[in-house]
Structures are given as C-alpha cells and as structure tokens.
Structure 1
Amino acid sequence: MPVVPDRSWAPPEPYDLRRSLLVLRRGPYDPAFRETRDGAVWRATRTPRGPATVRLLPGRPVRATAWGPGADWVLDRLPALLGADDAPDAFTACHPLVAEAHRRHGGVRLIRTGLVLESLIPTVLEQRVTTEEAYRAWRLLLRRFGEPAPGPGGEAAPELWVMPEPRTFALLPSWEWHRAGVDPKRSAAVVRAVRLAGRMEEAARLPLPAALARLQAVPGIGPWTAAETLQRSNGDPDAVTVGDLHLPGVVGHALAGEREADDARMLELLAPYAGQRYRATRLILLSGVLPARRAPRQRHARIARL
C-alpha cells in the first residue's frame, strides 16, 4: 500500500482550528471544504504540484493527513496554513468590545494558504451579489468543471472537489458563466486574472502594499476583492476590507454607535489598530455585536433564468 504522508503541528494555547480555517469556506455546502463529526476539517486545493486533499484533526498537536500530487506541498506549509506565521500577541485592544472579543476568541489565528487564485476567484464571484448567489456559482463551477479531489475513499471521507485549472476558467464559454449565474463583468475579471495566473500567485510572497497593487492592476479587481483575497492567501493582519456594503456600519456601530459610518469613518475608527486592522474587524465580527443588515446593492436574481 502507498504511504500516505502526514504531519503535525502543535499550536500555542489557546487555539481554535475550526474558526481559524472557517474563512476558507464558501458557504455551508462548499465542495472544497467539509467538516466531519469527529471534528476534522477537510479541504481540497489545487497546489503548484497538482490537486491535494488535506484532513486536519484538532488536538495537541493538530494532525494532518494529505492525499494527491500536491500532498507534500500542502504538508510542508502546514504551520502557515494553521496560523504559525501569525502574531496575535502583537495586537492591543483599544476598545472594551474589541478587548472582550480578543479574550473570548484568543484561539483564532490568521491563516496563510500561500495560494492566491483559489481565494481570488470565489471573491470575485461575491462582487455585488448576495452570498447565496456567489456560493451557488462557486458550487456549480467546481462540480461542473473541477475534478474529484484525491482522498482515501470510504464512507468516512466526504466528497470533495478541486477547483478547475486556470486554463479551464479562461476557456469557459459565456453560456457556462451564464448558467452559473455569473454576469459578464465578474466572469471577465476572473478570466483576466487566470490569464495572469503566475503573476497573481506571486502576490502571496509580496508585502501587503505591493500585493494589493499587483492584484488591483487587473481590471475588475478593486480594493475590496484584493483585501478579501490577501486576508486568506497572505494572512496579513492589516489587509482591511474597504468598499464593503456592511462592514463600515458594523465597525461604526461597534466602536462608536454610528450605524451610517462610511469607509472613511471606518478607517478613522480603526486608526488605533494600524498594522492590525483586519484582525480588529475580524474580532468585531466575532463579537456578534452587529446592526441590522442593509439590503444588497442588487436585487436577488439568477441570471441563468433570464
């Protein structure tokens, strides 16, 4: 029988494996992300060496088992994926609500996948639509044009799918994007990005300003998409999201009781957290102190039915 590679990493206490990795899940039915009853997190990914599936079992240490051509690539970067490069002790809370969230969720670490396109593409799909529409598009594209993820098989292993190769995305005809509910602006942005796949992936090794500039050089990728991508691929604690419909109001409500805060006001309120603004917003969201949500910018509509 072939040897299945595995690895382990002992995180400092406290540590919350599930919440740390949950930012990678694109909805409860993400074909590339599953949780099983034993507490394990399963993830399918496309690495520079090919597809891989990794099973992460919580504990001390966290134990990882991987399958597929990209198994060694994933396991070699296991500590970064689990948040070893993060430095949560560098964070100082300047507001009681943030301090309480930091205390309660001290086990959440900022993860680093080292892979840009796998976060960039689903983030582009989330532009200007409801999360339900974006998650549906991601599911359909993976199941129709991706490939079954490598794995152990058997009833205990969930069915996972690896996202399509960049070339596959680049060659998708317009009617397939339409069937998935993706409008021409978003599909064009994805196609431009995957045609520059090598340049996009280099951003995972760049400092934040250079990485943001690299992604935003592609038409259709703005500050919101770039920040949301680099939060996952680079794990940068200062990759604050601007241009979001809800986040300024959430931050304004939590820190100053201002429901109608805009991006400028949000950044003003986050100024004491310079260098850690993404972590601060993550903690605010985890606090659960949220105002009533606004309606999406666009009406909910599946363009495949038009």
Structure 2
Amino acid sequence: MHEDVERCVRAVQSKDARFDGWFFTGVVTTGIYCRPSCPVVPPKPENMRFYPSAAAAQQAGFRACKRCRPDASPGSPQWNERADVVARAMRLIADGVVDREGVPGLASHLGYSTRQIERQLQAELGAGPLALARAQRAQTARLLIETSALPMGDVAFAAGFASIRAFNDTVREVFALSPTQLRDRVARGHPAVTAAEESVATLSLRLPFRAPLCPDNLFGHLAATGVPGVEEWRDGAYRRTLRLPNGHGIVTLRPLPEHVACTLSLTDVRDLTIAISRCRRMLDLDADPVAVDDLLRTDPVLAPLVDKAPGRRVPRTVDAAEFAVRAVLGQQVSTAAARTHAARLVTAHGRPINDPDGGLTHLFPDSVALAELDPAALAFPQTRRTTLMTLVEALAAGEIDLGVGSDWTEARTRLAALPGVGPWTIETIAMRALGDPDAFIPGDLGVRVAARELGLPATPAALTKRSAAWRPWRAYAVQYLWATGDHAINRLPAA
C-alpha cells in the first residue's frame, strides 16, 4: 500500500487508524516517522515519505515519533492473511526465529537460501531480516524499559541485543532518547524484580487492535473450551500457561474498549517478544475487521449478522501442536467431553507450574511427552487412540510442521495422510492453529445448523459452493454463523 501515495496522503490527513501498521510515514522536515493516525498536525504532502515497515523507515534515517509511538501500532494484517514466503518469514521473525537461529535458521525453516529470503524481504518491505529483527528488538527494549524496573543490562540481554553498546545505540537511534531518558518519561513506582520473587518478571502492557473488536465469541470460545489447569476465566479475564523457548509463563488477557490489557508473568524475560506475538496471534489482533466485514456484508444473509456484532475475530492458539491434539480429542464429542479428555492428559503428562494468582497448574504436554504415553490409558475408542498417537508421533518427529512459518497447503496434505484425520479436523486446525483466514468447515454441526436456519444450503458440498463469495474470509464467516446459536462459545462468561 505504501506505493499508493495519494491513498496514503488521504489516510494521514484524515488520521485514519484503520491504516496503522499498513504503512509508516516519514517526515523529511523533522526526521520523524509516524503511524497514519498520529495526532499531530499532518505535514505537507511533499514532505511525506511512505514505508512498508518500521524497519524500512528506521533504515532511511527516521526516528520513531514520541506521540504516536509507531513501533507499537498493530501489526500488518498481511502477515496473517497471506501464505507466501514473505508472510511466512514475517510470522517467523515475530516469533523470534532470527534472534534464536539467525538468518540461516529463518531460511532453513522456509526452505530457501538466505540470499533469496533477504532479496524478497528487501523488495517488499524495504528491509532485510536482520533490520526487521532489530526493529523488533527495539520495541521489546522499549516495553521492558517502560514497564519494568529491570536494570538496563538485563533489559538489553532480554531484548536480544548482543552488547550494551548495541542496545544503547539502537535505542538512541530509533527513539532519539537514551534508555534512561525513556524510563524517566513514564510514571515511576514499578516494583523491582528480585530473586526472592522466584525470578518471575511480571509485566503489564496494552495490546492494540484495529476497531471494531467483538470480544464475545473471541474470549467466549477460549473460556468455554479451556482445558482445566492450563486455561481459566477469572475475574473477567482469560488466563493460560505458556511454554516458551527459554522458560514458561502465565498470561492474563482482559478485553477493554480500546485495547486488550495483558499481564505476563515470565520465568525468563527474553521470552517477552515471543509471548506477546503468540498472544496477539491467539486473539487475532492484527486482523483488518473493516475489510473482513465489508466483504461479508455483501451477502444479504450474513449482512444482518455482521451489523449486529461487527469485528468478530477468529479465536486461535498460542501452540499449534497443542491445538492439533485437542482437535483430535474433540472429534465427534461435546465441548465438555473434549475438555475432560484434555484435562486427563494434562494431569498425567503436563509439567506442573506454580500460579500464585489463580488456579493454573500445568503446561500442556508437548508432542515428545505425548508420544511416549501408553495408548491403553486413553479413555476413548481404539480408532481415536490410533489417530492421536499417529499425530503426536508425526509432530514429535518433525514430519508435520504446524508452526507460524509453515506452508498451509503442505500441512493440510500431511494431516490428510494420517488415519482418522478428516476434513473437519484438518480445517479446524487450519483455521485456529495455522491461522488460515479462509479455512472453512462446512461439515461442522454448528455451521450446518446455522446454515439451515438462515436458509443457506445445508449439505457440505452445496454450502462450500455457496461460500465462494465469502473468500478469502470464510474463517470469519464461520464465526458469524456459530454466533447464531445459543452456545457458551458465543458469549463472555460471567465475571
């Protein structure tokens, strides 16, 4: 979009928040870059320069605006909508792959050479993988500086910088302030993080999103299907445990009118960026609800549903492998039964954790742990035991990749080769684990009931044909169809 100068100028002049994250505006007279909705008086069009990413604006010599904080704007919806190599690379960078494995690791995940990846990212985003990861490190550093009392050396280490000097230089270059000056700009009084607190850092921050956002089905679904011990709804907030590269964490997410309040308790603050990225992905916060709803409104059957509660998101997951296991456990059983089966696995094979603020007790067991369990101990039919064990063995062996950088088509093909994994399971995993916005489950009971009541075709084949007009947002159409039913997934639980 950044190449459409006229459209970008109009968005900046109208301070249109819908385009935050789509592009960034550099102002040549001030050397500052902003989000489109920046509250300051818009510059003259001839003084505007447009960039596809914060990293590209930084590489061009612009520093972040202190008013609109463009580095904290919602992410571009492109990276969750698209399945091409650049989108997959951006999802992996957001998940910290470059910081953990370098550019060669990123290229290996994608099956391309480092030169090809660098060329494609540079062509589309104006910055290579290292610059994009550096911009992300700068944002993480700012969050830690402003929301914690960690010593600056610990902040630098946690944000992924190789040295204190690189940390200081980057913060000054991006924000035109030293780390100490950044901290001095925010309210004081953050509690110090000490060893006496079991090395757990608790950080509170805001997760921005593009309005509108309907929290009912989003948080309702996560709460109603939550696995006891791993997830809970407490005091008006959704809470769950997180398995992270350097440790574990607990997140508390509370929907508010203008943002989602997020409290993260981490055993290792190096996991902050990854934890935020996974929570944003789970809540689908980088979606473009206006684009989705505008298309779905063109269908006279869906239009009243969209107008009644616009901005529905697709409830996703923080752990794709975990969700795949839970999808198999949920085959042809009620929500309550699926939760019971999952809770038994968690109690028997999950790693215990301490939660002083609630009732969370375990991390969901990973694929390696589940691959070692005794199938005879599973309290469901033999065919489903076979399906589950085949799935976890394939996941543990790396034969199926469901991660953020996975190829959606290949993942579907490999899932389809497993015994007992049919279209419902595959598309459910595609929708909530892979994040495909066009995943569609015409055979789902709730979808079929809604279709019948709305006068839509009720058979899977006919409904699939009818749904062509909803592409590429069929996963969102499913949310509106589900919402016609009186099920707990469609409403926020009582506080």
Shorter-normalised TM range: 0.7 to 0.9
CA distance in 2, matches of 1:52, 1:130: 29
Determine the structure 1 residue equivalent to 2:249. Answer: 52
- The letter of the residue matching 2:409 is P
Residue of structure 1 aligned with 2:325, choices 121, 126, 138: 121
Given that 2:209 and 2:259 are in contact with CA atoms closer than 8 Å, whether structure 1 keeps it comes out as: yes
Q: How far 1:120 sits from its partner (Å)?
A: 0.7
- The letter of the residue matching 2:307 is R
Superposition pairs for residues 175-194 of structure 1, below 5 Å?
175-177=376-378, 181-194=379-392
Residue of structure 2 aligned with 1:67, choices 265, 273, 284: 265
**Against the structure 1 CA distance between its residues 184 and 31, is the aligned structure 2 distance closer, same or farther, given a 3 Å change threshold?**
same
Determine the structure 2 residue equivalent to 1:228. Answer: 428
CA distance in 1, matches of 2:484, 2:445: 19
2:212 maps to 1:8: no
Given that 1:101 and 1:283 are in contact with CA atoms closer than 8 Å, whether structure 2 keeps it comes out as: yes
**Against the structure 1 CA distance between its residues 221 and 46, is the aligned structure 2 distance closer, same or farther, given a 3 Å change threshold?**
farther
CA distance in 1, matches of 2:216, 2:241: 16
Q: How many equivalent residue pairs?
A: 280
Residue of structure 2 aligned with 1:217, choices 398, 414, 417: 417
Given that 1:68 and 1:150 are in contact with CA atoms closer than 8 Å, whether structure 2 keeps it comes out as: no
Larger RCO: Structure 1 or Structure 2 (Cα < 8 Å, ≥ 6 residues apart)? Answer: 1
**Against the structure 1 CA distance between its residues 10 and 207, is the aligned structure 2 distance closer, same or farther, given a 3 Å change threshold?**
same
Q: How far 1:281 sits from its partner (Å)?
A: 2.0
- Could you say which structure has the higher helix fraction? 2
2:264 maps to 1:82: no
Determine the structure 2 residue equivalent to 1:146. Answer: 350
Given that 1:97 and 1:284 are in contact with CA atoms closer than 8 Å, whether structure 2 keeps it comes out as: no
Superposition pairs for residues 151-162 of structure 1, below 5 Å?
151=355, 153-154=356-357, 157-162=358-363
Gaps of 5+ in 1: 291-306
CA distance in 1, matches of 2:224, 2:315: 16
CA distance in 2, matches of 1:129, 1:47: 30
Determine the structure 2 residue equivalent to 1:163. Answer: 364
CA distance in 1, matches of 2:453, 2:230: 34
Determine the structure 2 residue equivalent to 1:288. Answer: 485
Determine the structure 1 residue equivalent to 2:340. Answer: 136
- The letter of the residue matching 1:87 is D
Determine the structure 2 residue equivalent to 1:278. Answer: 475
- Of the structure 1 ranges 114-123 and 67-76, higher mean CA displacement relative to structure 2 is found in 67-76
- Of the structure 1 ranges 67-76 and 189-198, higher mean CA displacement relative to structure 2 is found in 67-76
CA distance in 2, matches of 1:289, 1:21: 15
Moved over 6 A (4+): none
2:218 maps to 1:20: yes
TM-score under structure 2 length normalisation: 0.51
String of CA shifts for 1:241-299, please: whole Å, max 9, x gaps: 1443453343233243x6xx211121122121121222112101113389xxxxxxxxx
**Against the structure 1 CA distance between its residues 58 and 185, is the aligned structure 2 distance closer, same or farther, given a 3 Å change threshold?**
same
Determine the structure 2 residue equivalent to 1:304. Answer: none
CA distance in 1, matches of 2:218, 2:445: 24
Gaps of 5+ in 2: 1-193, 488-495
Q: Which has the larger radius of gyration?
A: 2
Q: How far 1:28 sits from its partner (Å)?
A: 6.3
RMSD: 2.8
Given that 2:402 and 2:434 are in contact with CA atoms closer than 8 Å, whether structure 1 keeps it comes out as: no
2:300 maps to 1:102: no
CA distance in 2, matches of 1:107, 1:7: 22
Residue of structure 2 aligned with 1:33, choices 207, 213, 231: 231
Determine the structure 1 residue equivalent to 2:461. Answer: 264
- The letter of the residue matching 2:291 is A
